[in-house]
Amino acid sequence: MAYVDWRMTGKHLVYCNCAFGCPCDFNAPPTHGTCEGMDAFEIDEGYFGEVRLDGLRWATTFHWPGPVHLGNGTAQAIIDERASEPQREALLKILSGEEQEPTTMFNIYGSTIEKEYDPLFLPIEFEFDLDKRRARVAIPGVAETSTEPIRNPVTGAEHRARVLLPEGFEYREAEMASGSAKGTGEIKLDWTGRHSSLSYITLTPYGLA
């Protein structure tokens, strides 16, 4: 099938309420039964057809009552307020799983969502340092998150861990970290010291490049 030619290369930041490492990446059930989280992305270079997406940001908040693959999830997309109308339309098509193979990240997650709240167009503060495992996202009225290194519980020393997923649909390699999130929008988030990951990825209609 032919799709609109699109591509996004940039920084991907993930938070969820599970233990470090995210059980989903190991085909295991969520740590606390339910799954909730947020991801955010800053596009270094990107386009959707003739529409350039360079420098824009987006985020999504999620909640599932059980393991993701069982569905019944809720989600909300947040698009950078700086995006023009054509850029907003392009990003919403990508995030909704349109114009891409069913094996892509957005299509896979989209198939598990039962309810989508209306998208929001807001400023998205985004800080990201892969090597230091430090990051931050702030979206007014929706969520504020932070990422820091996992620490040894005895010495307090920074602990470094990477996960490799040769056949992953979300990333191939990511830095694991400790994340905190406070969500005050339609989807509530509230935790500290849970899973966070940082990665540089390139997404296309056919999955990870």
Per-residue H/E/C for 124-136: CEEEEECCCCEEE
48 within some domain: yes
**Token pair 């057809």 in the structure block, residue:** 49
**Is 1 domain-assigned?**
no
Q: Tell me, yes or no, whether 158 lies in a domain.
A: yes
pTM of the predicted structure, to 2 decimals: 0.96
Give the mean pLDDT of 148-177.
97
Domain hosting 109: range is 6-208
**Does the pLDDT at position 1 exceed 80?**
no
- Residue closest to 59 by CA, chosen among 20, 10, 130, 6: 10
Answer yes or no: are the C-beta atoms of 181 and 174 closer than 8 Å.
Answer: no
Specify if 142 maps to a domain.
yes
25 lies in some domain: yes
Residue-wise DSSP of 73-86: EEEEEEEETT--HH
- Count: domains in the chain: 1
Total number of residues shown for the chain: 209
- Helix runs in the chain, H state only: 85-95, 105-110
pLDDT tens digit sequence for 59-94: 999 999 999 999 999 999 999 999 999 999 999 999
Band (178; pLDDT cuts 50, 70, 90): very high
Indicate the residue type of 171.
Y
Name the amino acid, one letter, at 195. H
